[in-house]
Amino acid sequence: MNLQEAQLKLAKAEGQREALEKAVASSRGQIATLEKRSEDITQAVLTVQRIANELQANITAFFSTCVQSALDIVFPGAYKFCMEFASRRNQAELDMWLDRNGEKVSALDAAGGGVVDVISFALRTCCLLLSKKRPVLLLDEPFKFIRGEARERLGELLNLLSVQSRVQIIMVADVAGAPIEGAKRFRIGIEGGVSRLLPVES
């Protein structure tokens, strides 16, 4: 190999070295950009998770308070309602139960249908209050399993909801058991072969 060939070979090697240095610098820049993006994504995920946790805590507190208040009115001191969010299969799920001496018990297993009626009514009311729709509840015999003193206390629950939360309740109630008092009551009667709503005299 003569001197000229050696110089050409050296120049070629230097060109390759410069190209490699530029490639390394570009790769380092891309790595820095990706690391920054990764940090931003991590921070965004943490922020979303924090907001989700706060929202879940607020929802849990609101629903638990409403349902517990309803149970305390109809069945004073008899039941403790609990709920919490749990993460399963990368999704948030809501668990609800009754606490009996520190033991989790399903509402369906722990009590009769009357307790489930009250819990169901309270949960529906919570959803209505959280929505932006006109607060009107249309109910068809929502408390058919509740009798006796508990049924008499339903009027207190309904009046409290109507007055404090300004919810209008239109409800069909069965005739069995003690009546649930409301602001206005009607009965379905037949006049001249036609069904009509007739006021009930107090």
CATH number of the domain where residue 152 is located: 3.40.50.300
- What is the band of 31 on the pLDDT scale with cuts at 50, 70, 90? confident
Asked if 165 contacts 129 with a C-beta cutoff of 8 angstroms, the reply is yes
Whole-number percent of the chain with pLDDT over 70: 87
Asked if 80 contacts 64 with a C-beta cutoff of 8 angstroms, the reply is no
- What is the band of 64 on the pLDDT scale with cuts at 50, 70, 90? very high
Q: What is the pLDDT of residue 69?
A: 92
Tell me which of 31-40, 146-155, 193-202 is least confident.
193-202
Enclosing domain of residue 25: 3-199
Concatenate the DSSP letters of all residues of 126-163 into one string. HHHHHSSS--EEEEESTTTT--HHHHHHHHHHHHHHHH
Say if residue 178 is exposed, middle or buried (CB neighbours under 10 Å; 0-12, 13-18, 19+): middle
Residues in the chain: 202
Is residue 179 over pLDDT 60? no
Number of structural domains, the chain? 1
Q: Which of 128, 117, 21 is nearest to 71 (CA)?
A: 117
Is residue 178 over pLDDT 60? no
Q: Which of 49, 32, 118, 41 is nearest to 78 (CA)?
A: 118
Token output for 100? 């009996």
Average pLDDT of the residues in 184-192: 72
Q: What is the pLDDT of residue 30?
A: 84
Q: Name the amino acid, one letter, at 138.
A: L
- What is the band of 180 on the pLDDT scale with cuts at 50, 70, 90? low
Average pLDDT of the residues in 140-147: 80
